[in-house]
């Protein structure tokens, strides 16, 4: 017998056993963890993708996204075990739970006929269950497509590659000066094609594309070339499913059409709503005696099984207050016994100044290591146990709360960061005036939190209130104010206000070009968004 080849290793511990797939981002291997003695999946990112950006910053974003993804505690999201850069192999890698099953891409390729309605609905409902957990973090997938959805041997749906599209910059369309398009996919939402902020409803659009394909056996838009495909997603209405397949229930056809709405605001409000509308079409629970409801395609795991043993989404999160309603109050610290002296180190009481300083140093060290969730927990405990002598407006406590809010924001915990940022902005404005730099930063970050949560009207409200104070601090022709105005325009587009956004962008382009020069990156970004709006409207100039 010949000698067995030694498998390639990544990071000294992950053996690459066999290639599973290869695509635009890199390769996925079936691997083996030699330390923990288990099978794994290893995604190797193409070297040129990492080399196109600052390596240290790119790796930091890659790790940060992997950590946020790891917070999605749902069996439909494969666990992330490791994410780093192997200096010896010169490769960025992601180590994940190995899923044994069939991707929807393989399923669609192997079976020419459309799926049974119960199968398509069961797959879509399980995706909604996953999205309900992800959007509660919040994490927007940005790249729901057949290759990223698998059905395992038990019929459970797994959604792969959360956060990868965002880090690698593959979730937006780039329209070059020559008209060449980079990045368009058949499942990409109109807002991604226009390169404006995405929201959980962007994932719902992709779900609509996927559900249409499962039921019709063909993509909702079928243009081969990129420019026509972009135009179809931006402007062409989809063909109603019942024209292609009369046995599709009317309620399901209507749901798919709503998922495929061009404006995000016209789609169902969230994954919970979509699940609730799919629920009446799901197979009933199986008592153990009834046969399968539909004959499965040969050799394919049955995605109706989890519903014959009922599944459901997680509970809805508490809604975050917007400008039309009060923001939820930050969680109150544990009550302190008034008989306990300030600075006491007893359990349930306050802690000494030295202990606070040590805890803050520990939290800052965690932040330096991008361990944002741990840093936020440490700071929250310090704030709750601050000595009674530290008033609510004391500089030291304000700095603690600012650092805590930053940790929450960088860790992707936008729901918890938002009320704290708004409260801090109000406090700093009261103490130092509305043009205080830290107050402005807090309001700007609050606007970004709203945008990350898909609350674009609220983000616009924050930006509109912020602009005069930012102008007073930075100046009317400053790069800082131009950047703020660009974000404001992006939120206008995301909120469906294309006409208003176009006017905002034309004025911004004129003023920013005069102040910064036409070659400045901010000016070219403005021009690119204007070009996409003109493209959607069918104009070339």
* Catalytically active residues, by annotation: 143
Residue 539 burial (C-beta neighbours within 10 Å; 0-12, 13-18, 19+): exposed
Contacts of 352 (CB under 8 A, 6+ apart): 343, 345, 387
DSSP H/E element including 102: strand 101-103
Taking each helix axis from N to C end, the angle separating 117-135 and 200-216, rounded to the nearest 10 degrees, works out to 170
For 397-444, give the DSSP string.
HHHHHHHHHHHHHHTT-HHHHHHHHHHHHHHHHHHH-TT-HHHHHHHH
Nearest Cα to Cα of residue 194 among 179, 173, 169: 173
Longest alpha-carbon distance in the chain: 81
What are the distances in angstroms from CA 182 to CA 172, 191, 206, 438? 8, 15, 18, 38
Contact 215, 120 (CB under 8 A): yes
**HEC sequence for 110-155:** HCCCCCCHHHHHHHHHHHHHHHHHHHCCCCCCCCCCHHHEEEECCC
| Bond from prior residue into 165 cis (ω within 30 degrees of 0) | no
**HEC sequence for 330-365:** CCCCCCCCCCCCCCCCCCCCCCCHHHHHHHHHHHHH
Contacts of 211 (CB under 8 A, 6+ apart): 120, 124, 256, 259
Residue 318 burial (C-beta neighbours within 10 Å; 0-12, 13-18, 19+): exposed
Neighbours of 487 (CB within 10 A): 17
Contact 213, 146 (CB under 8 A): yes
Handedness of CA 526, 528, 533, 539 (dihedral sign): positive
What are the distances in angstroms from CA 303 to CA 204, 292, 341? 20, 11, 61
Euclidean distance between the first and the last CA atom of the chain, given in angstroms as a whole number: 70
Measured distance CA(217)–CA(111) in Å, rounded:
9
Handedness of CA 69, 75, 78, 79 (dihedral sign): positive
Contacts of 143 (CB under 8 A, 6+ apart): 161, 164, 165, 170, 171, 185, 187, 206
Both tokens assigned to 73: 């505690």
Contact 154, 305 (CB under 8 A): yes
Ramachandran region, residue 343 (left: φ > 0; alpha: ψ -120 to 50; beta: rest): left
């Amino acid at each position: 017998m010949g000698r067995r080849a030694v498998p390639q290793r990544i990071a000294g511990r992950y053996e690459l056993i066999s290639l599973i797939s290869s695509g635009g981002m890199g390769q996925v291997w079936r691997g083996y963890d030699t330390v923990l003695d288990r099978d794994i999946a290893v995604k190797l990112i193409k070297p040129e993708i990492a080399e196109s950006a600052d390596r240290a910053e790119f790796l930091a974003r890659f790790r940060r996204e992997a950590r946020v993804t790891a917070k999605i505690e749902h069996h439909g999201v494969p666990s992330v075990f490791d994410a780093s850069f192997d200096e010896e192999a010169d490769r960025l890698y992601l180590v994940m739970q190995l899923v044994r099953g069939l991707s929807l891409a393989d399923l669609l390729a192997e079976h020419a006929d459309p799926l049974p309605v119960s199968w398509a609905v069961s797959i879509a409902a399980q995706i909604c269950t996953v999205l309900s957990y992800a959007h509660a973090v919040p994490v927007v997938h940005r790249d729901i497509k057949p290759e990223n959805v698998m059905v395992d041997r038990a019929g459970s749906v797994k959604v792969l590659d959360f956060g990868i599209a965002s880090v690698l910059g593959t979730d937006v369309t780039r329209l070059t000066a020559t008209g060449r398009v980079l990045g368009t996919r058949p499942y990409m939402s109109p807002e991604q094609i226009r390169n404006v902020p995405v929201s959980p409803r962007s994932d719902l659009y992709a779900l609509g594309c996927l559900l249409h394909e499962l039921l019709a056996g063909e993509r909702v838009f079928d243009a081969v070339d990129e420019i026509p495909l972009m135009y179809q997603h931006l402007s062409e209405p989809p063909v109603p499913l019942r024209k292609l397949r009369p046995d599709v229930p009317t309620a399901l056809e209507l749901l798919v059409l709503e998922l495929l709405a061009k404006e995000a605001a016209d789609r169902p409000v969230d994954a919970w709503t979509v699940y609730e509308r799919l629920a009446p079409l799901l197979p009933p629970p199986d008592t153990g005696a009834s046969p399968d409801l539909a004959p499965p395609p040969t050799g394919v795991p049955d995605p109706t099984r989890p519903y014959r043993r009922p599944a459901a989404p997680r509970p809805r999160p508490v809604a975050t207050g917007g400008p039309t309603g009060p923001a939820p109050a930050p969680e109150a610290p544990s009550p302190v016994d008034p008989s306990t002296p300030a600075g006491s180190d007893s359990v349930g009481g306050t802690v000494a100044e030295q202990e606070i300083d040590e805890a803050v140093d520990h939290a800052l060290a965690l932040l330096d290591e991008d361990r944002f969730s741990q840093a936020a927990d440490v700071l929250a405990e310090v704030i709750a146990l601050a000595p009674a002598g530290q008033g609510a407006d004391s500089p030291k406590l304000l700095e603690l709360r600012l650092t805590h809010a930053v940790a929450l924001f960088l860790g992707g915990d936008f729901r918890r960061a938002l009320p704290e940022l708004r409260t801090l902005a109000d406090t700093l404005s009261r103490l130092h005036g509305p043009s205080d730099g830290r107050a402005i930063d807090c309001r700007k970050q609050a606007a970004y939190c709203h945008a990350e949560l898909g609350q674009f009207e609220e983000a616009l409200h924050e930006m509109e209130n912020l602009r005069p104070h930012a102008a007073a601090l930075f100046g009317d022709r400053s790069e800082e104010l131009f950047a703020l105005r660009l974000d404001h325009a992006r939120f206008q587009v995301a909120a469906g206000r294309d006409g208003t956004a176009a006017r905002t962008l034309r004025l911004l382009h004129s003023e920013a070009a005069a102040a910064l020069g036409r070659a400045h990156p901010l000016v070219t970004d403005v021009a690119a968004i204007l070009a996409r709006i003109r493209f959607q409207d069918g104009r070339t100039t």
